[in-house]
Amino acid sequence: MSEHIAVSETATAAFAALNLHPALLENLASLDYKQMTPIQAQSLPAVLNGQDVLAQAKTGSGKTAAFALGLLQKLDTKSLEVQSLVLCPTRELADQVAGEIRRLARLIPNVKVLTLCGGMPINPQFSSLEQGAHIVVGTPGRVQKHLDKETLRLDQLKTWVLDEADRMLDMGFADPMREVAKYCPRQRQTLLFSATYPDDIKTLSQEFQRNPIMVKVESTHSAHQIEQHFFELPNQEAKFPALIKLLQHYQPRSAIVFCNMKQQTQQVADQLKARGFSAVALHGDLEQRERDQVVVRFANQSCAVLVATDVAARGLDIKELQAVVNYDITPDPEVHVHRIGRTGRAGQSGLALTLTTVTQGSRVVAIEDYQQSRAVWGDLDSLKKNPDQMKPEMITLCIDGGRKSKVRPGDILGALTKEAGFNGQHIGKINIAELHAYVAVHHSIANKAYSYLQNGKIKGRKVKVRKLV
């Protein structure tokens, strides 16, 4: 039997109350992490105590730090054996999780975090594994491949984390997860995090965990945080004209449009671009490099609309998302809540707009029951077409040269501000990938910044650069 803890959205405590290593506490303070989120406050004590935890929490709840601090607290940096393994459904989420672990470990010397994901060449991963790693973050298929080839060993594993376990099941990773489990020591800690809690998750927990503490953060959203409107349409064909009306009326600077099928995702994005909108698609048929660039452009605010499937959008961490549009209403009310929970974060207000047809009334009723509130219906005919203000302020430049070339964000920022003389306020996010770097610049300086980088140097060498449009 698992112990169940229901957590209110307001439950909180200070990180300083935990018995964490001084280096971790000092780094948390430098990152301005003072109060724990509800999921951290309720799960971290059990994680630090070595107990198995089954945690349900919405996107943006702070769950990564909830398990990452536990992994780092128990880490023996003198032993270059894999002590923790984190499985994620997508490479985007794996990269995000690995980045957060590295950030939390900044003041602990010599912590080696390695990502093992599909869609990337496997030979460089062989070389990295030969040099050893403390924490591995990866996708189930690629991790299983390394285990089968005996290039990855888990003999010294202390903690196994299944992050976004519900999406790993949705993506058909049940068997790879079970194969990975066979390589894990029986005496281990298993932490399972999931945004939703279907029966399959209960089964997974029973297979992999021992007497887990169950923590659930209430996943309904306050009407003060997120303004929700439903719009009923006569048929499927009426959806795209309705989407145009919504975007023209509300004018969100950043919006995710959710579709249920990946073919429709690309079709809707193409139609939006044809109508002059700044839109990109994110779905499973994209090459990994294309996926990376789509995610970077949207996160950098150099693209206004991201059209995505639920699975493809996992791992996106967009802190200032103004609106979510459900182009297709989901049959699962928990997924609906997870979708709209991407907006209205960190005390900001958000907007959730859902298109539904007359035949989908039962789905709306299921959402009403789950959220314990009546749907608010909008009137498309009353919406006004505002002047187009959805052109993104930023343009993303892609530079050939990333972590492998030892390019750092400071190198790019210095080249653009100290050497080229651009105002730092016109430079946005800088992302460093394995082979490329991405920098968002204000559209007013985009051409000049592009020309400078083409003709100038970064770290003393010339680089190739192109605009992502």
User: Could you report the per-residue pLDDT of 37-53, keeping only the tens digit for each?
Assistant: 888 999 999 999 999 99
Does the domain at residues 394-468 carry the CATH identifier 3.30.70.260?
no
What is the rounded distance in angstroms from the CA atom of residue 273 to the CA atom of residue 268?
9
Quote the tokens at residue 127: 């070389």
Q: Where are the domains of the chain?
A: 3-217, 226-382, 394-468
The CA distances from residue 118 to 46, 123, 251, in Å, are: 32, 12, 37
pLDDT at 454: 85
Q: What is the pLDDT of residue 403?
A: 80
Total-model pTM: 0.66
- Confidence tier at 5 by pLDDT (50, 70, 90): very low
> At a CB cut-off of 8 Å and minimum separation 6, what does 109 contact?
77
Out of 3.40.50.2300, 3.40.50.720, 3.10.20.30, 3.40.50.300, select the CATH number for domain 3-217: 3.40.50.300
Q: Tens of pLDDT along 244-296?
A: 999 999 999 899 999 999 889 999 999 999 998 999 999 888 887 888 889 88
Position 181, amino acid: A
d(CA 413, CA 430) in angstroms, rounded, equals 8
Say how far apart CA 245 and CA 239 lie, in whole Å.
10
CA-nearest of 309, 299, 305 to 252 is 305
Average pLDDT of the chain, as a whole number: 88
Domains 226-382 and 394-468 share a fold: no
Pick the closest to residue 34 from 17, 20, 21, 22 (CA basis). 17
Q: Which CATH number fits domain 226-382: 3.40.47.10, 3.40.50.300, 3.30.420.250, 3.30.70.2740?
A: 3.40.50.300
pLDDT on residue 105: 93
Helical (H) or strand (E) element with 201: helix 199-208
- Residues 450 and 437: their CA atoms lie apart, in Å, by 14
Q: Containing H/E element for 223?
A: none
Instruction: Report d(CA 149, CA 1) in Å as an integer.
Output: 37
Q: How far apart are CA 59 and CA 195, in angstroms?
A: 7
Of 128-132, 362-366, 390-394, least confident by mean pLDDT is 390-394
- The confidence score (pLDDT) of residue 9 equals 43
What CA–CA distance (Å, rounded) separates 171 from 160?
20
| Model pLDDT, residue 273 | 92
Token pair 């989908």: residue:
360
State the Cα–Cα distance between residues 166 and 173, nearest whole angstrom.
10
pLDDT at 448 over 70: yes
